Amino acid sequence: MEPAKKIDHSHDEKTAKPKKNPKKPKKFLRKSTKEGLSGYLFMSPTIFTIGVFVIIPILYALYLSFNDVQLLGGIGYEFIGLDNYTRTIDDERALIALKNTAEYVLIVVPVQTCLALLLAAALNSNIRGKNAFRIIFFLPTVTSSAVLTIIFMWMYNPDGLINNFLQFLSLPTYNWLADPNIALKSIMIMNIWATAPFFMVIYLAAMQDISDSVYEAATIDGANWWQKFIYITIPILKPVTFFVVVMGVIGTFQLFDQSYIFSGGSGGPNNSTLTIVLLIYQYAFKSLDMGYASALAVVLAIIIMVVTLIQKKFFGEEKLHD
């Protein structure tokens, strides 16, 4: 019996043409290019607006911060390096403004965050008339900040509504607008009352997105409402809390209009309501020291970025968990 002959495939392998990667047709490339150009065309108004009103002013302010700007008798620029930045160390009013702003942030942000969380938890429960309460609580947010400030100034008068109410309860009254130890606290109270409802809505929307099965499982395990709130609601809302705290920090660091209206633009009494942004306004538009004002604005931006990065490190992962 003859052995089976081996079939030689070498000739077939040599003659077989290697497969080429299919190239994308030119029509497809043209279509994708057109789609990309169309996308940029639709985005062009936004890109133009951001470039003109955000990016260019930021770069220009950064440029001004390294110059001594002369506005009277013709605009002139004299490069002085870091002198505007080193000047902040010796500027007593800048240190006072930074101290007032830091105190304002450290008190207002935690209080308004906790208040917003508690209000959202209450309105997320099965209380009667919760829809009406949602509307009532949200009213301060849709009211103009200047209008709210004027209303509170009337309430803070020595013979105003708040002192009359405290006197009715046999509690001590205060000179809310003229006492340096109280003036900044009065702005804090007003802003907490006005901004907490906005963050309440954010928390409320996030709470309604939490699955009921999580709470049902906790109920089966014997957890009460407080344990559910501490061990389920708060951990799940951690990314939302990060957003609320960051937005609160940015907003409080930029406090200007309330302080300006309360003090008539002076930051008084005795610089007690002077904030960084109000000080920037005074140097830029009253003293016409645009270079130093720009340096203060850059310092404020750096402080906000550093605080935000610290918060991101503290809160960790920002993504919502399923």
The verdict on residue 1 lying in a domain is no
- pLDDT tens track of the chain, all 322 residues? 455 554 555 545 545 555 555 555 566 557 677 777 888 888 999 999 999 999 999 999 999 999 988 877 667 888 998 999 999 988 999 999 999 999 999 999 999 999 999 999 888 887 787 788 888 888 888 888 888 889 999 999 888 899 999 999 998 888 898 889 999 999 999 999 989 999 999 999 999 888 888 888 888 888 888 888 888 889 999 999 999 999 999 999 999 989 999 988 888 889 999 999 999 999 999 988 999 999 999 999 999 999 989 888 877 654 544 4
CATH at 172: 1.10.3720.10
Number of domains in the chain: 1
The verdict on residue 70 lying in a domain is no
The pTM score is 0.82
The verdict on residue 320 lying in a domain is no
The CA distance from 168 to 272, in Å, is 29
The verdict on residue 60 lying in a domain is no
The verdict on residue 50 lying in a domain is no
Angle between helical axes of 92-123 and 130-142 (0-180°, round to 10):
160
Type of residue at 155: M
Of 188, 21, 192, 30, the residue nearest 113 (C-alpha): 192
The verdict on residue 45 lying in a domain is no
Residues 6+ apart with CB under 8 A from 87: 292, 295
Local structure of 222: helix, strand or coil: coil
Residue 5: what are its φ and ψ, rounded to 5°?
A: -80, 140
The CA distance from 292 to 106, in Å, is 26
Domain residues for the domain of 269 are 89-315
The verdict on residue 237 lying in a domain is yes
- Token pair, residue 106, equals 């450290």
- Token pair, residue 229, equals 């709130």
The verdict on residue 161 lying in a domain is yes
Of 48, 47, 21, 83, the residue nearest 291 (C-alpha): 83
The CA distance from 322 to 105, in Å, is 32
